[in-house]
Chain A
Amino acid sequence: MHPYIPHTSEEVKSMLSDIGVNSIDDLFADIPEVIKLRRHLNIPDPMSEFEVYKELKSLSEKNKTAISFLGGGSYDHIIPVVVQHIISRSEFYTSYTPYQAEISQGTLQSIFEFQSLICELTGLDVSNASLYDGHTAASEASVMALNSVKKSDTILISEYLHPFTKQVLKTYFLGLDISIVEIKGKDGRTDIDDLKSKISDKVAGLIVQTPNFLGILEDLSEVSKIIRENKKVLIISSNPLSLSILKNSREWDADIAIGDLQPFGIPQYFGGPSAGYIAAKEEYLRKMPGRIVGQTVDKDGNRGFVLTLQAREQHIKRERATSNICSNQALMALASTVYMSIMGKSGLKDVAIRSVSAAHYLADELTKIKAGKILFNQPYFNEFAFVFNKDAKTVISELKNKGIFGGIMLEPLLGEKYKNAVLIATTEKRTKEEIDLYVKTVGGIL
């Protein structure tokens, strides 16, 4: 007997007899003998709950944490305890995709609220139940663009798009006749002249990230104008936290907004699970991937929610579908919905301003002690690329000795142009004392 399997031997006997077979083996008689596994799986004996927990705890303790200045798409923000409390309710986490609406109103209404909040933040008209992460969201948005611009086969991307987003895009379009063309950067921002020169009939749209991978805020006035004039699709990828204070997709006149919701109440967890968001102007509704929840009424006229516009999806369209997304990151979307509910209008702003202030304080202090300089002198959000006068490896390792993860070394990711450059991120969690320790440590090795 195993705790998760309730059958007594008497029950097994009586069930087999009702089925009309003699043994469990008879139930597997349809599997040809030649392929049957004639031995036991080479897996250890069952472990008790106590032993398993001990084993996993010891594994978890082989990981090390520190005061973190790591960002690059995953940030060390405060997570209100309410978030974990709500997503740990098993009515939420042990349910499947809400196919049976009448007993899934909890999931359905919370997704409807999620969609509403994402539309509110991005300023766009329609959203969905979430995508895998912000990086794969770029692939889905690209497909929407390609399907919206006739005879197009090219997606433009900004040089300062997250390098992993670029790599995911490349894999996504591998072996298809779709080109991904990079628009050069100039002083940390997308180069307008290069954009102009690369716009053609074949281009479906542009993906630009702001704050970009280097933390810099792109000024998209000109970009947006060029994309509009040429009737292309503008896709903006953003850290959702930045949208509480900075211009959003509606204000830049973009068509599609994407991003990763990790900063909104989701643990870093070595990169996942997080959730991707996507929102678009109304005209793209029928091209949206994934689950969408709509409001309707029941037969007594009461408000309720259902999965809707399913004719877009794989289980109806099969090989004619433009996306295969079904399971997404629903529980993480719920986490971010709870996070936004807790933080509210003012809280999101406060967290953004705190994070921005900490980053600027750290950059200023590092500059003051002549540790190096900011790579590009542009407005930045909660992270910045800093070029140390010293070997970046030495700096990072010295900080690590003091219990600080000092940032992401950029050269291994972006090439030798970024020698000794480190991407340094801050959140509302970082205290003045921690930042001062960072600066003092760097000062000590100059």
Chain B
Amino acid sequence: MTKLLNEISKPSRVAYIIPKTNIPQIDLNKIYPKNLLSENERNIPELSEVDVIRHFTELSKKNFGVDLGFYPLGSCTMKYNPKINEETSKLEGFTNIHPLQDIDTIQGILELQYKLLQSLAEITGMKWGTLQPFAGAHGEFVGMKIFKAYFEAKGEKRTKILVPDSAHGTNPASAHIAGFEVVEIKSDDKGLVSIDEVKKHVGPDLAGLMLTNPNTLGLFEKNIIEIAKIIHDVGGLLYYDGANFNAILGKVRPGDMNFDVVHLNLHKTFSTPHGGGGPGSGPIMVNENLIPFLPVPDIIFEDGNYKLDYNRTKSIGRVSGFYGNIAVMVRAYTYILTMGQKGLNEIAEKAVLNANYLRVKLSKLIKIAYDTICKHEFVLSGKDIKEKYGVSTLDIAKRMLDYGVHPPTIYFPLIVPEALMIEPTETESKETLDYFISIIDNIVKEIKENPDILHDAPSKTPIKRLDEVKAAKEPILKW
């Protein structure tokens, strides 16, 4: 157990030396009225530099990251985070610039963003976009606001957004908070969006459809052109959730599937690290008709200079304090240059190869939800195992921890009972996949022979299984 910062604090210890100054230091009581000043001490821990380093280094040892091993977390695309990205993102010419500097002093960062947008436009088949959204969910929200603004400009009142029941939870949440009514579309028996279901809900009140393709079962929605036509025919728009874009990069583009708005997750497809929960980046790319509605400022290139353009009367306005998570953009741009056209083309090929290899091997061990060629991921169902042996998907996931791999996404998508959603990504070798297969093989044997090992798992981690019910019932949220 690592002590908390406040438990290692010792009065008067310090970990900093403030530089000398000749500036006369002010007595706060002389410049501020008494009622503005706090009478209380803030109880911030007092530590030495060694205390701080040891503390956080010890904590880091209790964490698992991509650099430590296999991380097949479905829909999260936990590929390798290249080290050159970290180096370029630390260049002082990037880290030290203020967001409100004069335009002639920020040409480099604007050029980088402009070129990144150009690359993303080519990669998605869209016309232009914005890099400002801070995360995928933020991108979805911005996309939905663009839908709103578009219909408002047309003088149409459209309220409904269709979302498949296999969609990421952020889709319905984003549409809802942007002010739309969400209608859930049932998947058919093949795990795809049912065209009949879509047809039932289209009409003059339809704003559009949010879709990830391939979907969260890892299946390509092959009827996409027909679906797009149905939506477009009634005047609706199509939104592409790019969380699964790694599966099709260079093979088929959302723009060519007739999507109107696309978000990408730079922290998934474009290799930037997830940081334990951000910062990510969720750029939005749009077709020609929707460019006027993009957030301000736009980045333009005019008379040999890059500029920030606020003169957009139809724009939805500002969506982030400044311009988004710039350091993430530097990493993604570095990645695109490093991969190049050839490398980018290999991403989807090897991601899909890895997923199908695992699918074929693992479906012999645990029941697969939909047994057909998949894209970047696929979903197993632990339902039979649970019924027969009383071992849940949670137990299986916890047992994987003992074998030194990160478990897949579990209990998602919601339409598959006891789901295990597995996404290996292209950066994993055959040896790693074979090791993972052998782990699942072992675990399945354990389920049959000694299910208690699974109920008690994990046993080799820094801490045993944690009581989540207690955490929620008796919340302790600070020291």
Q: Which of B41, B279, B340, B406 contacts A46 (CB 8 A)?
A: B340
- With contacts A96-B277, A134-B321 taken as known, whether A304 is within 8 angstroms of B91 at the C-beta atoms is no
A29 to B79 CA separation, bound complex (whole angstroms)? 24
**Residues of B close to A408: CB separation below 8 A:** 100
A93 and B468 contacting across the interface, CB-CB below 8 Å: no
Chain B nearest CB, measured from A262 CB (Å): 9
Q: Which of A97, A106, A300, A313 contacts B61 (CB 8 A)?
A: A106
Chain A nearest CB, measured from B227 CB (Å): 12
Q: Does A70 have its Cβ within 8 Å of any Cβ on chain B?
A: yes
**Residues of B close to A323: CB separation below 8 A:** 173, 177
Chain A 1-36 interface 0/1 with B at a Cβ cutoff of 8 Å (1 = within): 011111100011011101111001011111110111
Q: Does B154 have its Cβ within 8 Å of any Cβ on chain A?
A: no
**Residues of A close to B325: CB separation below 8 A:** 272-273, 329
A168 and B149 contacting across the interface, CB-CB below 8 Å: no
Q: Does B62 have its Cβ within 8 Å of any Cβ on chain A?
A: yes
- With contacts A314-B169, A345-B43, A405-B101 taken as known, whether A327 is within 8 angstroms of B274 at the C-beta atoms is yes
**Residues of B close to A103: CB separation below 8 A:** 62-64, 401, 406, 458, 461-462
Q: Does A221 have its Cβ within 8 Å of any Cβ on chain B?
A: yes
B338 and A105 contacting across the interface, CB-CB below 8 Å: no
Q: Does B248 have its Cβ within 8 Å of any Cβ on chain A?
A: yes
A171 and B465 contacting across the interface, CB-CB below 8 Å: no
Q: How large is the interface on B (under 10, 10 to 19, 20 to 34, 35 or more residues)?
A: 35 or more
A16 to B134 CA separation, bound complex (whole angstroms)? 38
A291 and B173 contacting across the interface, CB-CB below 8 Å: no
B20 — nearest CB in chain A belongs to which residue? A431
Q: Does A215 have its Cβ within 8 Å of any Cβ on chain B?
A: no
A124 to B112 CA separation, bound complex (whole angstroms)? 41
A245 to B34 CA separation, bound complex (whole angstroms)? 11
**Residues of B close to A293: CB separation below 8 A:** 477
Give residues 40-55 of B contacting A (CB, 8 Å). Answer: 40-47, 49, 51-53, 55
Q: Does A101 have its Cβ within 8 Å of any Cβ on chain B?
A: yes
A5 and B343 contacting across the interface, CB-CB below 8 Å: yes
A29 to B374 CA separation, bound complex (whole angstroms)? 10
B273 and A347 contacting across the interface, CB-CB below 8 Å: no
Q: Does A104 have its Cβ within 8 Å of any Cβ on chain B?
A: yes
B275 and A132 contacting across the interface, CB-CB below 8 Å: no
**Residues of B close to A3: CB separation below 8 A:** 82
A429 to B333 CA separation, bound complex (whole angstroms)? 32
A89 to B81 CA separation, bound complex (whole angstroms)? 13
A4 to B2 CA separation, bound complex (whole angstroms)? 35
Chain A nearest CB, measured from B60 CB (Å): 4
Pick out which of these stretches binds chain A: B24-32, B195-203, B379-387: B24-32
A314 to B32 CA separation, bound complex (whole angstroms)? 44
Give residues 307-357 of A contacting B (CB, 8 Å). Answer: 308-311, 313-332, 334, 338, 340-348, 350-351, 353-354, 356-357
Chain B nearest CB, measured from A170 CB (Å): 6
**Residues of B close to A116: CB separation below 8 A:** 4-6, 478-479
**Residues of B close to A94: CB separation below 8 A:** 65-68, 81, 273-274
Chain B 195-222 interface 0/1 with A at a Cβ cutoff of 8 Å (1 = within): 0000000000000000000000001101
**Residues of B close to A126: CB separation below 8 A:** 477-478
Chain B nearest CB, measured from A123 CB (Å): 8
Q: Does B22 have its Cβ within 8 Å of any Cβ on chain A?
A: yes
Q: Does A127 have its Cβ within 8 Å of any Cβ on chain B?
A: yes
Q: Does B439 have its Cβ within 8 Å of any Cβ on chain A?
A: no
A363 to B205 CA separation, bound complex (whole angstroms)? 58
Q: How large is the interface on A (under 10, 10 to 19, 20 to 34, 35 or more residues)?
A: 35 or more
Q: Which of A5, A64, A90 contacts B105 (CB 8 A)?
A: A64
Q: Which of B18, B321, B326, B361 contacts A135 (CB 8 A)?
A: B321
Q: Does B148 have its Cβ within 8 Å of any Cβ on chain A?
A: yes
Q: Does A190 have its Cβ within 8 Å of any Cβ on chain B?
A: no
A294 and B65 contacting across the interface, CB-CB below 8 Å: no
Q: Does B187 have its Cβ within 8 Å of any Cβ on chain A?
A: no
A268 and B99 contacting across the interface, CB-CB below 8 Å: yes
A246 to B375 CA separation, bound complex (whole angstroms)? 55
A107 and B343 contacting across the interface, CB-CB below 8 Å: no
A53 and B141 contacting across the interface, CB-CB below 8 Å: no
Q: Does A200 have its Cβ within 8 Å of any Cβ on chain B?
A: no
Q: Does B87 have its Cβ within 8 Å of any Cβ on chain A?
A: yes
Q: Does B78 have its Cβ within 8 Å of any Cβ on chain A?
A: yes
Q: Does B320 have its Cβ within 8 Å of any Cβ on chain A?
A: yes
Pick out which of these stretches binds chain A: B230-238, B426-434, B442-450: B426-434
Give residues 331-388 of A contacting B (CB, 8 Å). Answer: 331-332, 334, 338, 340-348, 350-351, 353-354, 356-358, 360-361, 379
A350 to B15 CA separation, bound complex (whole angstroms)? 13
A162 to B321 CA separation, bound complex (whole angstroms)? 9
**Residues of B close to A445: CB separation below 8 A:** none
**Residues of A close to B458: CB separation below 8 A:** 102-103
Q: Does A194 have its Cβ within 8 Å of any Cβ on chain B?
A: no
Give residues 210-226 of A contacting B (CB, 8 Å). Answer: 217, 219, 221
A292 and B477 contacting across the interface, CB-CB below 8 Å: yes
Chain B 325-364 interface 0/1 with A at a Cβ cutoff of 8 Å (1 = within): 1111010011011111111111111101110110111000
B105 and A63 contacting across the interface, CB-CB below 8 Å: yes
**Residues of A close to B222: CB separation below 8 A:** 30-32
- With contacts A269-B97, A350-B18 taken as known, whether A60 is within 8 angstroms of B45 at the C-beta atoms is no
B470 — nearest CB in chain A belongs to which residue? A296
Q: Which 4 A-B pairs have the closest CB atoms?
A: A271-B322, A60-B93, A46-B340, A62-B108
What are 28 of the A-B contact pairs (CB < 8 Å)?
A: A26-B373, A27-B349, A30-B222, A37-B256, A40-B345, A63-B105, A80-B15, A90-B68, A96-B76, A97-B276, A102-B458, A116-B6, A119-B478, A125-B477, A164-B321, A175-B149, A267-B96, A308-B471, A319-B184, A321-B173, A324-B138, A324-B141, A338-B56, A344-B46, A347-B16, A350-B18, A354-B23, A379-B31
Given contacts A63-B108, A90-B273, 14 further A-B contacts (CB under 8 A): A5-B343, A11-B430, A19-B360, A49-B338, A52-B88, A104-B62, A116-B479, A270-B94, A294-B471, A295-B471, A303-B1, A311-B472, A327-B135, A342-B16
